[in-house]
Structure 1
Amino acid sequence: MSHSHSHSHDHHDHSHAPTVTGDNERKVLLSFLLIFAFMIVEVVGGLLSGSLALLADAGHMLTDAAALALAYAAFRFGRRAADAKRTFGYLRFEVVAGFINAITLFAIVAWIVYEAWQRFQQPQVVLAGPMFGVAVAGLLVNILVFWILTRGDSEHVNIRGAALHVLGDLLGSVGAVAAAIVIHYTGWMPIDPILSVIVSLLILRSAWGLLGKSLHILLEGAPDNATPEQIEHYLTANLPGVAAVSHVHVWSITSGRTLATLHVRPVDDAQARAVTRAVERALRSRFEIEHATVALDWNDDAGPCALSRGTAAHEHNH
């Protein structure tokens, strides 16, 4: 069975992928440093004031810091060239780091919920003054970082993700401020563990999303907008020169970088080159697949199922 292979190598036609600018990198690095530094302040503040809500908020800040660190790492590693051992370069690093980050967040949430349960059993005294001071400062840091991230290019998937993280954390800081005010005026201590559980649910939501997304990419799952069925249906329905599409495999190297291999049988073998080019164009424009390997199944061939047909004939003769 002979196959001709055509490779699409138009790596510069990333009309859909926002370009990474030095400005993006600086923005993300500055945001990371601010969040990470304040996360440490919040941990110290939480331990000194005895506030679990502050510690939970610090845990949420860790998710922000991790999201920003991943965005920064993706920018840096994305620029590193592929080598003989890593033919796709280091793009998967971001996904592996995201997976480890998600697992860590589950552990943090488990600890916060356990601590909160302990505190419901035996309420602890929380110092409202220091808690209020640290929570207000945290709120201001989150507002500043959100402002930095939403200036200019916020279309980049990593920056948008990081900005959403910070927005969630901003709500956590508002909660910690509210808890400090309640404790100061009423002395009702359970508000602190209650709020810490609410914040940990926010962390859980982002951790679950991150785990699912990174695991799907690591398991070579097809992106939601480009399943083999969708591709097969689209190409046979919309490209008149295509007689059949088979053996479709689609996967992501990292978020937003999709590759595919597939077999295409043209209606007319003489049109093979034009059909291949049309398929590559359609995959790029409709499914945002930046690199496609198209194998041609010729009409004078036994076709892609030659092996199974041969086996069936062989059994029939016996």
Structure 2
Amino acid sequence: MEHDHAHHHQHRHNRLGLTFLLNIVITIAQVIGGIISGSLALISDAIHNLSDGVAVLLAYIADRLGQREKTAKHSFGYKRAEILAAFINALVLIAISFYLMIEAIDRFANPQVVDFKWMLGLGILGFLANGFSVFLLHDDHHHNLNVKAAYLHLLGDALTSLAVIVGAVFIWAWGWTWIDPLVTLLISIYLLVHTFNLLKESTEILMQFAPSSIDPDEVKNSLEAVRGVKQVYHIHIWRLTDHSIHFEAHIELDADLQLSQTRDIDRQMNEILRDVFFINHVTLQFEYKHEGSGKTC
């Protein structure tokens, strides 16, 4: 099983690597083509491609780091590296999107000649390559935030390349050069919306917000329903990565039980957390206070 898992991992790495190379090659081709043909849409498509290349590279590096051993100093291993990577990637992409939008608006005012042949050819190249990449990553995209981000990006890329192709056909048929900045705007807005979601999710994880799917009050009530429990407080729920959720709390008991007697309560609580809320990393501190000691929060 372990061997199988490692093999699967290697397989995923190879696919990510291949996807990354493909993206870099297309980016270079599209930037050169965009400069020669005067098409901003091609350049925006290239940036989009590059962003995916970067997303894929980050997924790859984070995946490698995530496999590294935990140490006493880095007790969570390097799992958060991928979240930090996703965050930085998102910030850079948002900046690029704004830049492209400003450029496109400028183009509306000062139309430029566009050579549709380059635009068409490289649009088709981008479309094929992204289609192929989507096909490569399809198996893994449910398992991991970064691979999923890369996959969605690539899917979006195939669509943006399609927009470039359509734009080129319009320019070819009717000579409408304003189609070029229009396509650029659409691609940039699309990039912005997608990236914003990635930024939001990675920020929530970095800020250690409780995952949106879990209501802390509901968790508290479920745990306080366990027999022998007086109250549950000092609750902290946070995500280490997009998958692993951590929980810690203080449990005040009705009676001054021996440690061996708390085992049953502990087991019940762990079961509730695991089965109802899908939380696997649990730290509980059991306490017994006499009346009149005053409750601390």
Common fold, TM-score beyond 0.5? yes
Q: Deviations over 1:197-243 (max 9, x none)?
A: 00001110121111111111111111112342232123234x34543
CA distance in 2, matches of 1:243, 1:307: 14
Q: Which residue of 2 aligns with 1:263?
A: 250
Partner of 2:232: helix, strand, or coil? Answer: strand
The yes-or-no answer on 1:245 pairing with 2:232 is yes
Q: Which residue of 2 aligns with 1:198?
A: 186
Q: Which residue of 1 aligns with 2:54?
A: 66
CA shift, 1:300, in A, is 4.6
Q: Cα distance 1:121–1:260, how it changes in 2: closer, same or farther (>3 A)?
A: same
CA shift, 1:306, in A, is 4.3
**Matching residue's letter, 1:211:** L
Contact (CA 8 Å) 2:30, 2:46: kept in 1 or not? yes
The yes-or-no answer on 1:279 pairing with 2:279 is no
Partner of 1:221: helix, strand, or coil? Answer: coil
Partner of 1:63: helix, strand, or coil? Answer: helix
Q: Cα distance 1:280–1:301, how it changes in 2: closer, same or farther (>3 A)?
A: farther
CA distance in 2, matches of 1:203, 1:125: 25
Please give the residue correspondences for 1:121-270 in structure 2 after superposition, counting only pairs within 5 Å: 121-150=109-138, 152-158=139-145, 159-237=147-225, 239-268=226-255, 269=257
Contact (CA 8 Å) 1:63, 1:105: kept in 2 or not? yes
CA shift, 1:267, in A, is 4.7
- TM-score normalised over the length of structure 1: 0.84
**Matching residue's letter, 1:259:** H
Q: Deviations over 1:16-62 (max 9, x none)?
A: xxx97222222222212212221222111111111111111112212
Contact (CA 8 Å) 1:265, 1:299: kept in 2 or not? yes
CA distance in 1, matches of 2:137, 2:189: 24
Q: Cα distance 1:90–1:290, how it changes in 2: closer, same or farther (>3 A)?
A: same
Identical aligned pairs, as a percentage?
36
Q: Which residue of 2 aligns with 1:101?
A: 89
CA distance in 1, matches of 2:32, 2:59: 27
- TM-score normalised over the length of structure 2: 0.89
The yes-or-no answer on 1:293 pairing with 2:283 is yes
Contact (CA 8 Å) 1:236, 1:243: kept in 2 or not? yes
Q: Deviations over 1:231-270 (max 9, x none)?
A: 2123234x34543211100111221121111112345536
Contact (CA 8 Å) 1:247, 1:263: kept in 2 or not? yes
Q: Which residue of 1 aligns with 2:3?
A: none
Q: Cα distance 1:302–1:89, how it changes in 2: closer, same or farther (>3 A)?
A: farther
Q: Deviations over 1:119-168 (max 9, x none)?
A: 11110001000110000010000110111111x44431233332221111
CA shift, 1:80, in A, is 1.1
CA distance in 1, matches of 2:223, 2:50: 44
Q: Cα distance 1:200–1:222, how it changes in 2: closer, same or farther (>3 A)?
A: same
| Between 101-110 and 268-277, the greater mean CA deviation after superposition | 268-277
Provide runs of 4+ in structure 1 moved above 4 Å.
299-303, 305-308
